């Protein structure tokens, strides 16, 4: 990337905007009030993720102006990201029925797939598979699930920010080490925007991301993973590996709750990371644990797959099996009882 000067500018802008949003939230009493299903105990301002949205979108416009990123990718990222952020912002300030939120999520996914020309052929155990319209449908479900699971997993101080930075830096490193035609500029830009917000969100958090920020990160990361798949099919598997902590915890939790016919749209505290935070008595060990898993376990596997030395699906299974064990060990999806 030739625009290294842009990264500290975006991080600084995100830092400033988050501070301004915190003052705004305090003045308007836009606070997340703890309840029986919260993982925090102190009323905290919410909506700071808007700083990530604005700083990233402004940086994205600069990348387009400098012709550092294809315009199709910019329109996909900006259009879907802005729509999901606006939907989340409105939900943060009031309430939007779940069916309308879901409709907006699928509309944003359709926008992404229009600009990226759907799901590219994927290589599974040496064979390229082009699923056609069925693949596009699965890609839409993938994008909607990713933006929702990012919302579900944004429940501890710093956890969603740390996950986003680890994934983005890992993806940028993939581009560099695999000599991809993509340079990782958008990923580095997003990491910078998140870093500026993280200054205010480290435990104990002084402001929360809110639905506007978490949903935005989910759809943008999903879009970047599909764009990477068009560059090289193995990079899509690498992206899924990098996203493993959030994907596995959220999916195991969802499946176990569905097996008991629970209403999955109701708030709960039965994710593995939530049980872990209650076991250790604070957020920081869990957030640092997520960072360690990303750097020590998932990143090397993603690089191994991205270099073509390990089949993508095999690498995904190797990466996810220990994560599934950890999710079950920390009771992901189990009914909430008196014990942590």
Instruction: Convert the pLDDT of each residue in 192-202 to its tens digit.
Output: 999 999 999 99
Q: Which residues make beta-bridge pairs with 129?
A: 122
pLDDT confidence bin for 237, thresholds 50/70/90? very high
Q: In sequence order, what are the residues at sequence separation of 6 or more whose Cβ sits closer than 8 angstroms to the Cβ of residue 62?
A: 3, 6
Confidence check: pLDDT of 132 > 70 = yes
Using alpha carbons, list the distances in angstroms from residue 169 to 147, 192, 239, 284.
19, 10, 11, 21
Using alpha carbons, list the distances in angstroms from residue 290 to 20, 70, 95, 235, 323.
29, 32, 31, 22, 11
pLDDT confidence bin for 38, thresholds 50/70/90? low
Indicate left, alpha or beta for 222 from its phi (over 0: left) and psi (-120 to 50: alpha): alpha
Q: Structure tokens of 319?
A: 């990466």
- Per-residue pLDDT, averaged over 249-257, amounts to 95
Identify which has the larger pLDDT, 274 or 176: 274
Phi, psi of 127 (to 5 degrees): -115, 130
The span from the first CA to the last CA of the chain, in angstroms, equals 46
pLDDT digits over 171-185, tens only? 999 988 876 657 789
Q: In sequence order, what are the residues at sequence separation of 6 or more whose Cβ sits closer than 8 angstroms to the Cβ of residue 61?
A: 74, 78
C-beta of residue 197 within 8 angstroms of C-beta of residue 56? no
- State the Cα–Cα distance between residues 128 and 297, nearest whole angstrom: 27
337: exposed, middle or buried (C-beta count within 10 Å: 0-12, 13-18, 19+)?
Answer: exposed
Q: Which residues are documented as binding site for Mg(2+)?
A: 151, 211
- State the Cα–Cα distance between residues 196 and 214, nearest whole angstrom: 15
Among the listed residues 113, 160, 99, 171, the one whose alpha carbon sits nearest the alpha carbon of residue 141: 113
Q: E strands of the chain, at which residues?
A: 31-32, 44-45, 122-124, 127-129
Q: Which residues are documented as binding site?
A: 151, 211
Q: How far is CA 272 from the centre of its chain?
A: 17
Among the listed residues 79, 40, 78, 47, the one whose alpha carbon sits nearest the alpha carbon of residue 62: 78
Domain ranges, ordered by start, for the chain = 6-329
pTM of structure: 0.94
């Amino acid at each position: 990337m030739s625009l290294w000067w842009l990264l500290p500018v975006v991080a600084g802008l995100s830092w400033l905007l988050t501070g301004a949003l915190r003052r705004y939230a305090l003045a308007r009493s836009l606070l997340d009030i703890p309840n029986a299903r919260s993982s925090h105990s102190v009323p905290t301002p919410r909506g700071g993720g808007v700083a990530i949205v604005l700083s990233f979108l402004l940086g994205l416009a600069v990348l387009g102006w400098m012709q550092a990123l294809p315009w199709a990718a910019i329109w996909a990222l900006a259009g879907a990201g802005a729509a999901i952020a606006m939907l989340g912002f409105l939900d943060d300030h009031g309430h939007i029925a779940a069916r309308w939120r879901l409709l907006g999520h699928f509309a944003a996914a359709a926008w992404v797939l229009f600009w990226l020309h759907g799901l590219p052929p994927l290589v599974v155990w040496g064979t390229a598979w082009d699923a056609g319209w069925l693949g596009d449908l699965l890609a839409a479900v993938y994008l909607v699930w990713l933006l929702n699971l990012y919302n579900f997993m944004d429940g501890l101080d710093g956890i969603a920010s740390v996950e986003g930075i680890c994934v983005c830096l890992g993806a940028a490193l993939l581009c560099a080490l695999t000599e991809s035609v993509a340079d990782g500029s958008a990923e580095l830009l997003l990491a910078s925007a998140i870093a500026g917000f993280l200054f205010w969100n480290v435990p104990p958090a002084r402001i929360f991301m809110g639905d506007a920020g978490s949903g935005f990160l989910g759809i943008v990361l999903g879009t970047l993973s599909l764009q990477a798949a068009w560059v090289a099919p193995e990079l899509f598997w690498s992206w899924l590996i990098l996203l493993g902590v959030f994907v596995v915890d959220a999916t195991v939790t969802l499946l176990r709750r569905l097996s008991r016919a629970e209403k999955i749209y109701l708030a709960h505290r039965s994710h593995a990371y939530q049980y872990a935070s209650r076991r250790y008595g604070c957020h920081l060990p869990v957030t640092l644990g997520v960072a360690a898993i990303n750097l020590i376990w998932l990143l090397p596997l993603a690089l191994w797959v991205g270099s073509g030395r390990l089949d993508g699906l095999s690498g995904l299974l190797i990466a996810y099996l220990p994560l599934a064990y950890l999710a079950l060990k920390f009771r992901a999806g189990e009914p909430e009882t008196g014990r942590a």
